[in-house]
């Protein structure tokens, strides 16, 4: 286990290596379609932590039904501390990564289409669609022509999200419950 990523149960978003990019097509579009610029999924993965804590609490109560009050609190103290520490790290890293990602997306879109960063930022704030659709919206602003997204074929398939690390595979049933309860779209 790595010292600085002990709190991660899922693999991180991958960066598409340059050797797999198609020549002649926009590198930015390929990276967007691959999923490098999609929202940081740590925000969704935090729900698994609550589920795991509840699962461990239920196991303790099944093993020792006489535990209540302070004795139960003492028994679960370590797990609760781990839960709070892991959630704090996840939230902190999620907010930092999300902010960096939005800034990078704004800068890359502005550079790709020779647009002012302020124009791209205002477009991002009012736009309601996917990152890929935002790319084509910026393209239409730049060219002054309306772009029909239905005629644009995807260049690269998106990478899978929310892949549990091998050591954490035991929590897959709990993750499936979280996905069903929270009605996450495009997860599986």
Tokens of 183: 């009605």
This model's pTM is above 0.85? no
Q: How far apart are CA 8 and CA 12, in angstroms?
A: 8
Q: Quick one: pLDDT at residue 161?
A: 84
In three-state secondary structure terms, 10 is strand
pLDDT at 142: 95
Q: How many CB atoms lie within 10 A of CB 88?
A: 11
Q: What is the rounded distance in angstroms from the CA atom of residue 151 to the CA atom of residue 32? A: 17
pLDDT mean across residues, the chain? 90
Distance (Å, whole) CA 93 – CA 42: 8
pLDDT digits (tens, 9 = 90+) for 5-57: 788 899 888 899 999 999 999 999 999 999 999 888 888 889 999 999 999 98
Q: If 0-12 CB within 10 Å is exposed, 13-18 middle and 19+ buried, where does residue 109 land?
A: buried
Residue 28: predicted pLDDT:
97
- Domain segments of the chain: what residues? 26-155+166-182
Rounded Cα–Cα distance for residues 114 and 96 (Å): 27
User: Is a pLDDT exceeding 50 seen at residue 1?
Assistant: no
Q: Encode pLDDT of 50-93 as tens digits.
A: 999 999 988 888 888 777 778 778 888 998 999 999 999 999 99
What's residue 160's pLDDT? 87
Whether 2 has a pLDDT exceeding 70, the answer reads: no
Contact 158, 33 (CB under 8 A): yes
Give residue-wise pLDDT tens across range 122-158: 999 999 999 999 999 999 999 999 988 888 899 999 9
> What's the pLDDT tens digit per position in 101-118?
999 999 999 999 999 999
pLDDT 10s digits, 149-168:
888 899 999 998 888 999 99
């Amino acid at each position: 286990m790595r010292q600085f990523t002990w709190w991660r149960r899922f693999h991180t978003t991958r960066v598409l290596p340059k050797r797999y990019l198609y020549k002649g097509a926009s590198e930015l579009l390929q990276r967007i379609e691959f999923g490098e610029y999609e929202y940081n999924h740590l925000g969704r993965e935090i729900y698994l932590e609550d589920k795991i804590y509840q699962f461990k609490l239920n196991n303790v109560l099944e093993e020792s039904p006489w535990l209540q009050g302070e004795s139960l609190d003492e028994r679960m103290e370590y797990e609760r501390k781990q839960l709070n520490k892991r959630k704090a790290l996840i939230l902190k890293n999620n907010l930092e990564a999300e902010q960096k990602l939005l800034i990078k997306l704004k800068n890359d879109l502005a550079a790709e289409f020779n647009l002012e960063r302020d124009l791209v930022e205002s477009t991002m704030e009012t736009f309601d669609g996917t990152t890929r659709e935002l790319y084509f919206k910026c393209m239409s602003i730049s060219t002054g022509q309306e772009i029909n997204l239905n005629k644009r074929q995807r260049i690269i398939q998106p990478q899978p999200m929310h892949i549990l690390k091998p050591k954490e595979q035991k929590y897959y049933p709990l993750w499936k419950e979280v996905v069903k309860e929270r009605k996450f779209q495009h997860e599986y």
